[in-house]
Structure 1
């Protein structure tokens, strides 16, 4: 039985990645305690758009993680309540000129070899997919595997689906890790007391580096700030997730400066979500009129119908950024019993299921759903 002060595994972080780790660990028969200093989805997850994307990822380990996660999300959508708003609506990436289309063709060609469906859409067919798109675009690519969920509810329902094997301890901050004589994990110390377990999963998002420091290991997770504009409720004027080709370059960039590239999508509830901006400014939550002006202008350039629509609110979030743009997933050989599941930047919602399954398999000695060597957490240590 899961007691108040012991578990088989402790997951630090109640965002969607931590929730997925807890869900798959519980499904594997483990007793899981999930700790968070705030509420469920109170960090990056709650400030996300719910993107489940393959369209923005080049061939490699992250794309493989995204493809497997996409399949798992489809299965989860049949198991979890419908209010997670899972929509397999597809994505549309558009180019403004022929040079942009040539770049999209090259990008899509590589993706197809990695199992992604990418369908070229000529300029005169774009409005068949999105009737309100601007005129004059050179064409685009349709990605039917792209999808969306409501991230906060997805995290909450994953935790609930773990049943009695998952215990939530919210408003409880981890202040230290308990270790044995050989440095192995024995549990955590929190603002409330001690909790004992032989395994700790660091799913703390942008604070993943702080949890790693408690274990005296290096994991250079940094916050990357982003804003999202939310419009008034509308009829479904945007059917898919639509963005311009330069968004892909911004995702892959390591620049600390402000970057904006509009990602526009409708939601079942009616509001249109407009992202995405990126900048490294620490945990500064100050509203950036410059970022919002850029996002609004770029969204109107894609969908002129939005020019007369009111933006009702905006929200800010922090993506957990690692320098090589790959998350840290799996056991940390420097600290026996410590595992990491953080650093997914802006893709954590889309990558959560495969991450959680990989962590659960690592805990139980099973075969991971993919080769997790590229995500090894110790790759940032000086010795590596």
Structure 2
């Protein structure tokens, strides 16, 4: 039996961040990952570092995490690109929602400003005509999440963490985990397995939320900012069985990443031509130039969604030495670093920088 101060199960962006923070704190860490580092939902994501202001708890975690992301602005492996986020309004009604959003972002420590229609088209000349204006959050960025996860795991290993690559947890014990090869690991457990959490911890509800993305060939200069419709949150936080929203991203390579779609309880990872077409039609309405570009590849991923949309971060009631960090839906990359710091602070008995109560797993068991 091998003993550790913390056994991190899962090495996506959340698990990798937690392992890194634990190693920085001087803990003896084991990392158990059956597949490639950052190869699950992390590899399928857009990597947009964005503060969503619809839920105060979500905003607090995002802002806390975005400050920590600044550490990686100069890391080549992160492919950090400060393209900014441009939210576009179709009409006066959506335009009227901008001032309250700016106020919420400002109160949380963020900076955003409204842009009129003329400025909107100066920022992104290829947008569809007739849009009313928008909101620019200039300091937001994009990263390449799998590389960041790999970097964080490597940093943890340099501090002595042991990676159990290609292994999965067959059974949880009391402060122990049995692996598929018969190995037994002893120590507090942190489950960072995303949508696979119910396999080990079925009492915490989690639903898969399938999403499609498509990436184009290289077209440098076509797009400058990550551009989303102001109604994006209606899709991201809605309860409809399926939805699409306009969300496009310029990659540092010159390629354009096009999203986004959401489907509840669809675990088939195959690309759905009907859903892909629906998503692209939405994108073409806002950015007609996309119709002239050559698509290179489409893929899907499964976002881990909790019933209330907030992640589980903290100890599991009535399970000594069992912790969980999972259920971030579409904001796992943005909130990974903040989630990890918050959780390791809780584990060590330190007072976290933000209130942990909204993310406590106990809320799902009440």
- SS of aligned partner of 2:105: helix
Matched, 1:209 2:205: no
Instruction: State the partner residue of 2:133.
Output: 139
Matched, 1:157 2:151: yes
Instruction: State the partner residue of 1:66.
Output: 62
Tell me if the contact between 1:254 and 1:323 (Cα under 8 Å) persists in the aligned partners. no
Rounded to whole Å, the distance in 1 between the matches of 2:36 and 2:355 is 32
The two structures, once aligned, show a CA RMSD in angstroms of: 1.5
Q: In the alignment, which of 288, 292, 295 is matched to residue 304 of structure 1? A: 288
- SS of aligned partner of 1:137: coil
1:308, distance to aligned residue in structure 2 (A)? 0.9
Matched, 1:176 2:160: no
Matched, 1:189 2:178: yes
1:10-45 deviation digits (Å, cap 9, x = unpaired): 101110000000000000001111112211112100
Instruction: State the partner residue of 1:128.
Output: 122
1:36-92 deviation digits (Å, cap 9, x = unpaired): 2211112100100101111x33251111110011010101334xx312111222101
1:322-366 deviation digits (Å, cap 9, x = unpaired): 010100001123201011100000100000001111122122222
1:204-244 deviation digits (Å, cap 9, x = unpaired): 0111122213xxxx110111000001111111311111011
Rounded to whole Å, the distance in 1 between the matches of 2:30 and 2:112 is 41
Rounded to whole Å, the distance in 1 between the matches of 2:68 and 2:128 is 35
Rounded to whole Å, the distance in 2 between the matches of 1:52 and 1:141 is 16
Instruction: State the partner residue of 2:32.
Output: 35
Rounded to whole Å, the distance in 1 between the matches of 2:266 and 2:290 is 32
Aligned residues: 365
- SS of aligned partner of 2:73: helix
The range that moved more, 326-335 or 128-137, is 128-137
Q: 1:332 to 1:145 in 2, by over 3 A?
A: farther
Rounded to whole Å, the distance in 2 between the matches of 1:302 and 1:37 is 40
Q: So what's the TM-score if we normalise by structure 2?
A: 0.96
Q: 1:64 to 1:145 in 2, by over 3 A?
A: farther
Matched, 1:353 2:342: no
- SS of aligned partner of 1:232: strand
Rounded to whole Å, the distance in 2 between the matches of 1:167 and 1:238 is 42
Matched, 1:84 2:73: no
Instruction: State the partner residue of 1:254.
Output: 239
Spell out the pairing of 1:321-360 with structure 2 (5 A cutoff): 321-360=305-344
Q: In the alignment, which of 354, 358, 366 is matched to residue 374 of structure 1? A: 358
Uncovered stretches (5+) of structure 1, i.e. residues with no partner: 180-184
Rounded to whole Å, the distance in 2 between the matches of 1:342 and 1:207 is 9
1:136, distance to aligned residue in structure 2 (A)? 1.1
Tell me if the contact between 2:208 and 2:304 (Cα under 8 Å) persists in the aligned partners. yes
Rounded to whole Å, the distance in 2 between the matches of 1:358 and 1:343 is 15
Rounded to whole Å, the distance in 1 between the matches of 2:218 and 2:205 is 39
Rounded to whole Å, the distance in 1 between the matches of 2:347 and 2:100 is 39
Q: 1:282 to 1:195 in 2, by over 3 A?
A: farther
Instruction: State the partner residue of 1:274.
Output: 258
The range that moved more, 284-293 or 351-360, is 284-293
Instruction: State the partner residue of 1:220.
Output: 205
Q: 1:59 to 1:113 in 2, by over 3 A?
A: farther
Q: 1:38 to 1:168 in 2, by over 3 A?
A: same
Q: In the alignment, which of 260, 265, 277 is matched to residue 249 of structure 2? A: 265
Rounded to whole Å, the distance in 1 between the matches of 2:137 and 2:281 is 25
